[in-house]
């Protein structure tokens, strides 16, 4: 499973370098307004079933403290999310009807989120150590909290009025119709959360909305389905066994988090392997310092512009970081490491040698395939090899862009003029050497390489 795309050697993601857009601010404002309304309503009306509300508040707060990191640098609190969904879908409790309503669901969820943030208030904010910043200073945590409030509020707004109005009474809690109704509401809530997540990722991370939504929908078949199933199960089981259903049926989800943590450790090890290989050519003097990272940054920027999703961006970044490994087979380094100026046959030989090394490192198979084909012309692939992977076409343009910039700098050409020259040279090979869509994307983004 790929690690997070866009993770730079400095420990920053593309999202960290992008200011919050109007969509993000609108989502945060909507969540804050909803929470303020819910807290005000509960303060005026009082808390219905205080013991039940307290139990779910504690469950949500504890669940928020036990978080996991998913691919794409997305944090998730499965137990907290399942607990909030269960409270939104809670009908009878041990056969006794409940009457907490939609606004109390939002209030309990919000208080649980705020309680989970309390330990972080004593943690000083250190920009140089973003992984230790308090929750309130973490944009990802704020986005997650806003999504949680809005998605849970949506589920409660659909279920609670129907339940409290008696329209759900026609379904027996023991019958299949009641379970089907809960499933439909939970599925709609999951789609709401996925849509909000895609909007936030589009606003903050720069992904195209269709690609971001596809990523979020794909994640529903992983930990997302476990969260939805646990939330429904707790709400149903509470009708029979009461509040004991909360710890009893959340335990399997806690065990599932252990597996996700192990997968995260594997991704971290893979990332370290890739970082070492990416630096090997620089340490050996075959490529300029920072070349691999600049190519990876430009390739990911092009990938986002062209609508690639999170997984595709991760594989693209892996391949871009290791695209020059084959240069270690050369007796003499290429001047400035600029393989883009070599004959096509030599570029292909270096790419295939690098692919053979990469295929033995345990990284995903697609990475080695992308590196093997990155020097093949986009038109007229070798017989039997099929079309050049799109990621390989992106890396070839990104690599040529940085190589040509490096050569221009060596001639004393200014940065702006060098970028124009590099783009003009690449345009001369548009549709023949370089993929036309990628060249056009490079012209739009202006190149993201940094000196």
CA atoms within 13 A on the CB side of 196: 27
Is pLDDT at 15 greater than 60 in this prediction? no
Confidence of residue 175 (pLDDT cuts 50, 70, 90): low
pLDDT band for 5, please (50, 70, 90 cuts): very low
Name the packing angle between helices 390-410 and 310-321 (round to 10°).
40
* Residue 415 main-chain phi, psi, to 5 deg: -60, -50
CA 396 remoteness from chain centre: 25
Gap between the Cα atoms of 52 and 419, Å rounded: 63
Q: What is the mean pLDDT of residues 186-197?
A: 90
Q: pLDDT tens digits, residue range 399-424?
A: 989 988 888 888 888 888 888 888 88
Strongest mean pLDDT among 104-108, 329-333, 345-349: 104-108
Tokens of 349: 């030989």
Range with the lowest mean pLDDT among 184-188, 278-282, 381-385? Answer: 381-385
pLDDT reading at 129 higher than 70: no
Bridging pattern class, strands 68-70 and 74-76? antiparallel
Helices (H) and strands (E) counted in the chain, each on its own, are: 16, 2
**CA 362 to mean position of chain CA atoms:** 22
What is the DSSP code string of 158-175? Answer: HHHHHHHTTGGGGS-TTS
Helix (H, G, I), strand (E, B) or coil at 67: coil
> pTM (2 decimals)?
0.71
Query: Picking from 83-97, 110-124, 307-321, 378-392, which range would have the lowest pLDDT averaged per residue?
Result: 378-392
**pLDDT higher at 240 or 2:** 240
* Reported confidence tier of residue 13, pLDDT bands at 50, 70, 90: very low
Q: How many CB atoms lie within 10 A of CB 420?
A: 13
Rg (CA), the chain: 26
Q: What is the pLDDT confidence band of residue 163, given thresholds at 50, 70 and 90?
A: confident
For residue 449, the model assigns a pLDDT of 43
Reply yes or no on whether the pLDDT at 2 is more than 60: no
pLDDT higher than 80, residue 92: yes
pLDDT at 335 over 60: yes
pLDDT, tens digit (0-9, with 9 covering 90-100), for 42-66: 999 999 999 999 999 999 999 888 8
Each residue of 64-80: pLDDT tens digit? 888 877 665 667 888 88
Q: How far apart are CA 354 and CA 370, in angstroms?
A: 11
| pLDDT of amino acid 383 | 42
Q: What pLDDT sits at residue 227?
A: 87
- Rounded Cα gap, residues 342 and 151, in angstroms: 54
Lookup result for tokens 């990284």: 363
- CA dist 367 and 371 (Å) reads 6
CA 334 to chain centroid, in Å, comes to 37
- Range from 139-148, 166-175, 223-232, 403-412 carrying the lowest mean pLDDT: 166-175
Helix (H, G, I), strand (E, B) or coil at 126: coil
- The DSSP line for 236-300 is HHHHHHGGGHHHHHHHHHHHHHHHHHHHHHHHHHHHHHHHHHHHHHHHTTSS-TTHHHHHHHHHH
Confidence of residue 398 (pLDDT cuts 50, 70, 90): very high
157 pLDDT band, cuts 50/70/90, is very high
Residue 235 pLDDT exceeds 70: yes
Tell whether the model's pLDDT for residue 258 goes beyond 80.
Answer: no
Mean pLDDT of the chain, nearest integer: 81
Alpha carbon of residue 150 to chain centroid: 19
For the record, the structure tokens of 182 come out as 């809960």
């Amino acid at each position: 499973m790929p690690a997070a795309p866009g993770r730079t050697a400095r420990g920053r993601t593309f999202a960290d370098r992008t200011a919050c857009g109007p969509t993000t601010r609108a989502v945060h404002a909507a969540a804050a307004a909803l929470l303020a309304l819910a807290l005000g309503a509960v303060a005026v009306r009082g808390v219905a079933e205080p013991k039940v509300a307290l139990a779910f508040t504690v469950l949500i707060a504890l669940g928020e403290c036990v978080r996991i990191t998913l691919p794409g640098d997305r944090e998730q609190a499965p137990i907290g999310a399942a607990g909030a969904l269960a409270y939104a879908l809670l009908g009878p409790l041990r056969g006794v009807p409940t009457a907490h309503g939609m606004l109390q669901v939002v209030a309990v969820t919000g208080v649980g989120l705020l309680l989970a943030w309390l330990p972080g208030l004593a943690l000083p904010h250190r920009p140089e150590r973003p992984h230790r910043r308090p929750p309130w200073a973490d944009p990802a945590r704020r986005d997650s909290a806003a999504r949680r409030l809005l998605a849970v509020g949506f589920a409660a707004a659909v279920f609670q009025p129907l339940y409290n109005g008696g329209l759900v009474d026609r379904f027996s809690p023991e019958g299949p119709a009641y379970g089907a109704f809960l499933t439909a509401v939970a599925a709609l809530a999951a789609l709401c959360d996925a849509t909000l997540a895609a909007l936030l990722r589009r606003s903050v991370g720069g992904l195209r909305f269709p690609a971001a939504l596809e990523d979020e929908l794909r994640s529903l078949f992983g930990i997302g389905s476990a969260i939805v199933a646990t939330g429904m199960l707790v709400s149903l089981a509470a009708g029979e066994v009461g509040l004991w259903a909360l710890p009893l049926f959340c335990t399997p989800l806690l065990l599932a988090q252990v597996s996700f943590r192990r997968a995260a450790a594997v991704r971290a090890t893979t990332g370290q392997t890739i970082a070492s290989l990416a630096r090997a050519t620089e340490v050996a003097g075959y490529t300029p310092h920072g070349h691999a990272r600049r190519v990876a940054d430009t390739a990911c920027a092009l990938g986002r512009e062209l609508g690639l999703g999170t997984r595709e961006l991760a594989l693209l970044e892996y391949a871009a970081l290791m695209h020059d490994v084959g240069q270690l087979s050369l007796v003499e380094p290429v001047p400035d490491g600029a393989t883009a100026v070599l004959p096509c046959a030599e570029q292909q030989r270096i790419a295939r040698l690098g692919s053979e090394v990469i295929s033995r490192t345990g990284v995903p198979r697609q990475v080695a395939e992308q590196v093997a084909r990155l020097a093949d012309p986009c038109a007229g692939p070798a017989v039997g090899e099929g079309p050049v992977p799109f990621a390989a076409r992106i890396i070839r343009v990104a690599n040529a862009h940085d190589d040509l910039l490096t050569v221009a700098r060596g001639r004393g050409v200014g940065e702006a003029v060098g970028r124009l020259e590099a783009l003009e040279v690449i345009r001369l090979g548009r549709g023949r050497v370089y993929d036309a869509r990628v060249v056009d994307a490079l012209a739009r983004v202006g190149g993201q390489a940094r000196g």
